[in-house]
Amino acid sequence: MLNGDDNMDFMSRRSIRKYKNMPVEKEIIDELLKVAIIAPTGHNARACEFIVFENEKEVKKLIGIKKAGANFLETAQAGIAVVVNCDKAGTWIEDGSVAAYTIQLKAHEMGLGSCWLQLRDRFSPNDEPSDELFAKIVELPENYRVLCFIALGYADEEKAEYTDKDINLSKVHYNSF
């Protein structure tokens, strides 16, 4: 039977792009990693791995990696990059995306804000591929690719929750398009 009261609060999850100057506890990061590690993967390949950026100073190494949509790196207090061994998983984009969003949902549940930093098919101000720059920064082995970086921190901005008005049911088709 449906019991909406037990659901995680999906309506209040928003991308947070401004964070308080407050470190993210290691215990919280550990909880995020646990759910990411058990997230579903194609063929149960389990090819995702995670690079933890433990504090503000580490996150700042990524500033300049991407020409737009990365301002939140200035205040993010931690982050988790999702990298995938592409030799092991044909579904590396799907696997990595599932893990990344699982991290975001768990972060929200634990009172943390997060934002996805797209690195694949994105470029630095000098037009270098953002994923290649990332690979150099973290010394990623050649057969691995980065899917994204999830920035983390305690929110220092108010974002409106989603409401029933945002739920556009015209997107739903039953039994055929």
Ligand X SMILES: Cc1cc2nc3c(=O)[nH]c(=O)nc-3n(C[C@H](O)[C@H](O)[C@H](O)COP(=O)(O)O)c2cc1C
Q: Interface with ligand X includes 115 (CB under 6 A)? A: yes
Can you tell me which of 12, 15, 21, 143 binds ligand X, judged by CB under 6 A? 15
Can you tell me which of 23, 118, 137, 138 binds ligand X, judged by CB under 6 A? 118
Cα(114)–Cα(155) distance, rounded to whole angstroms?
Answer: 8
Cα(91)–Cα(97) distance, rounded to whole angstroms?
Answer: 10
Q: Interface with ligand X includes 69 (CB under 6 A)? A: yes
Q: Interface with ligand X includes 12 (CB under 6 A)? A: no
Q: Which residue from 65, 36, 31 is spatially nearest to 48, judged by alpha carbons?
A: 36
Q: Are 153 and 78 in contact, with CB atoms under 8 Å apart?
A: yes
Q: Which is nearer to ligand X, 91 or 118 (CB)?
A: 118
Three-state DSSP at 54 gives coil
Query: Binding segment for ligand X among 35-43, 78-86, 112-120, 124-132 (CB under 6 A)?
Result: 112-120
Q: Are 77 and 22 in contact, with CB atoms under 8 Å apart?
A: yes
Which amino acid does the sequence have at 123? Answer: F
Q: Which is nearer to ligand X, 9 or 25 (CB)?
A: 9
In the complex, which residues of this chain contact ligand X (CB under 6 A)? 14-15, 17, 69, 115-118
